[in-house]
Structure 1
Amino acid sequence: MKCMLCEEDFEKDELMTSQAKFSLDDGREKIIDIYLCPDCLVETATTKGAKLKKKFKSDAFKEQLKEWGII
């Protein structure tokens, strides 16, 4: 399974699960589960999610979430 931020492969039990608010294209918001490696989890906590928020806005990430069946 991949870390949703750095996209490196990890065993599922190595990833930390968290939740984040994601804005859909139609303006609705949905709470989604996100999977982060320990390093990315610490980075997200210390920067208040700056990289994660930027990534959430990318069209490629939205397509990836659709492929995974998350949105």
Structure 2
Amino acid sequence: MSTTQSDHFKQRRLVEFKDGCRYGRFGKTKAYELIARERIKAYKMGGKTLIDLDSIDEYHASLPRVESRAMI
């Protein structure tokens, strides 16, 4: 099976909006901003917005590392 096919069949880890915010450690305003900027993925199911936890993991992994400015 090719990578594209395996990605298609991959189980998504979707949670309700508030649980996605809790998992990502951000509020709803930041979540909507990240969705609009396509940094995290969201889906609609009926009237509910579901957030993909893998996209939150990818977003966190992309954040820049803080460099220490400690003086020796």
Q: Shorter-normalised TM-score: what interval?
A: under 0.3
The structure with the largest helix share of the pair is 2
| Bigger RCO (CA 8 Å, 6+ sep) | 2
TM-score normalized by the length of structure 1:
0.28
